[in-house]
Structure 1
Amino acid sequence: MSLLSLRRLEKHYGRQVVLERMNADVEEGEFISIVGASGCGKTTFLNMMLGIEPPSRGELLLDGRPIPQEPGEDRGVVFQRYSVFPHLSALENVMLGGEFSQARWLGRTWGARRRAIAVEARAMLQQVGLEHAADKYPHQLSGGMQQRLALAQALTKKPRILLLDEPFGALDPGIRREMHQLITDLWRRHRLTIFMITHDLREGFSLGSRLWVFDKVRHDAQAPDAWGASITYDIRLDRAPAGLEQRISASVYPPRHVA
């Protein structure tokens, strides 16, 4: 059985169709990059995966059952904007998930429990290269370091699925290359299944094992919201033919004409 299955999945907002006719199977351990023009439903799909947006039609199945309609420990998420708590140190940010698991209402532990959670958090900080910054606060960290912290925070509960919404979009090219290597290492080390949104087609082709392209197949100039995007390309990156990146770029990101 596939880890995740999309069966004629659709998402509507009133009369606006955002996603339609989405069919796919994803095996555990795949790394899927998702590209497409702005507004084509990429983040909406991630929100459905996270459990904060319900499907309008069709099925989104995890282990053969409808995906839970609320966030859970089995799904970690990292956004483009650094989703860490500014009033907590790096170590405390990573400890937070463990503390809420142990003390749901207070989010705070003491004694041996707290020391054990701290040991695990420090090990996660080491994996993302932030062991030296454990006592620093987010405002004392660079953008790349803050994203490393967000990754550590997302992975602390050992999720099966990691959802990345343009996690490297705000970073300069040099830092992005470092983050590419880090996310690849974490994917392999933790045997994660990853869904990553990116606007950078080159990044989509270079990261992971599979590429999805979201685009509209049907158009109506008189009713632009009548049809939604679907998966128009589903590419195994180890089998991608030469020149495919250029063809997709031309069809999904056509050049803009300036008057």
Structure 2
Amino acid sequence: MSFVSVTDVWQEYDGRSILEKVNVAVKEGEFISIVGASGCGKSTFLRMLLADERPTRGEIRIDGGPPATEPNPERGVVFQRYSVFPHLTVRENLMAGEAFKSGFGRLRGSSRKAASERADAMLARIGLNHVADQYPASLSGGMQQRLAIGQALTAKPRVLLLDEPFGALDPGTRIAMHGFLTELQAETNMTVFMVSHDIEEAFKLGDRVLVFDKPRWDPHDPGLYGATITYDFDARDQGVPFQHLLDQYPSLMGD
């Protein structure tokens, strides 16, 4: 039985299709990488999974529940650009994610102390424990992105949505964050959807790799038709020829 089901989803802006006839079923705990040329609706698809946008047609359900009308704590998200609370310290940013999930928005007494200890443990895992009492403005862009990832993961969402989350990180930190995300997913059984322009990263982290593309193309009006899922690769199959995919879709290597 699928945990996330996307059924005949279309999205249109001003009468123009961005996505059309998108269908996919995802098991709980799967890691889904999403690749495709710039402008083919990958980020739009994530926003619909987040329930920040509603499809023009079709529906998206999580664990058999009704289609969401707005974002909720069971969905976590990290966008391309780091998004943290500038008025909170690094530690408080992580505690905020836990507070929001509790539904009360504020932690007190023993609950606050326990959340602080968990935040410090998370900061150690993402390499930010030495700046726990600083504010985000004092951090580099890569450190702020690590903080944003840690904040999303602290809330332990059932579905984690990542939009090019590692682009601002240096190669060493990027590899470390790959390992951390893989470990945490195994611990929590989160279902992950990640948009990436790095095809090797997509195959390395993903259980499956979805390719978004436009099967219909009008040379006189390139924006006439929307994109859909044209390939669904099992990335766990070591025989998958992703170099062949690159040869067929060279635009996957860049935005």
TM-score by length of structure 2 reads 0.90
- Partner AA of 1:216 in structure 2: K
Deviations 1:9-39 (A, max 9, x none): 1111122111111111100000011000000
Q: Partners in 2 of 1:37 and 1:102 — Cα distance? A: 38
Equivalent position of 1:15 in the other structure: 15
Q: CA deviation at 1:49?
A: 0.6
TM-score by length of structure 1 reads 0.89
Q: CA deviation at 1:199?
A: 0.9
Q: Which moved more, 1:124-133 or 1:58-67?
A: 124-133
Q: What does 1:29-108 correspond to in 2, within 5 Å? A: 29-100=29-100, 104=104, 107-108=105-106
Q: CA deviation at 1:102?
A: 5.7
Q: Partners in 2 of 1:74 and 1:132 — Cα distance? A: 30
Equivalent position of 1:140 in the other structure: 138
Q: Partners in 2 of 1:81 and 1:60 — Cα distance? A: 25
Change (3 A) 1:65 1:103: closer
Q: Secondary structure at the match of 2:130?
A: helix
Change (3 A) 1:84 1:221: same
**Are 1:249 and 2:250 an aligned pair?**
no
Matched-pair contact (CA < 8 Å) for 1:12–1:18: yes
Q: What does 1:155-170 correspond to in 2, within 5 Å? A: 155-170=153-168
Q: CA deviation at 1:240?
A: 5.0
Equivalent position of 1:193 in the other structure: 191
Q: Tell me the percent identity.
A: 52
- Partner AA of 1:130 in structure 2: L
Q: CA deviation at 1:245?
A: 1.5
Matched-pair contact (CA < 8 Å) for 1:37–1:215: yes
Gaps of 5+ in 2: none
Q: Secondary structure at the match of 2:236?
A: helix
Matched-pair contact (CA < 8 Å) for 1:18–1:227: yes
Change (3 A) 1:60 1:202: same
Gaps of 5+ in 1: none
Change (3 A) 1:118 1:220: same
Aligned residues: 253
Q: Partners in 2 of 1:172 and 1:124 — Cα distance? A: 20
Equivalent position of 1:235 in the other structure: 233
Matched-pair contact (CA < 8 Å) for 1:35–1:42: yes
Matched-pair contact (CA < 8 Å) for 2:61–2:68: no
- Partner AA of 2:21 in structure 1: R
Q: CA deviation at 1:5?
A: 0.9
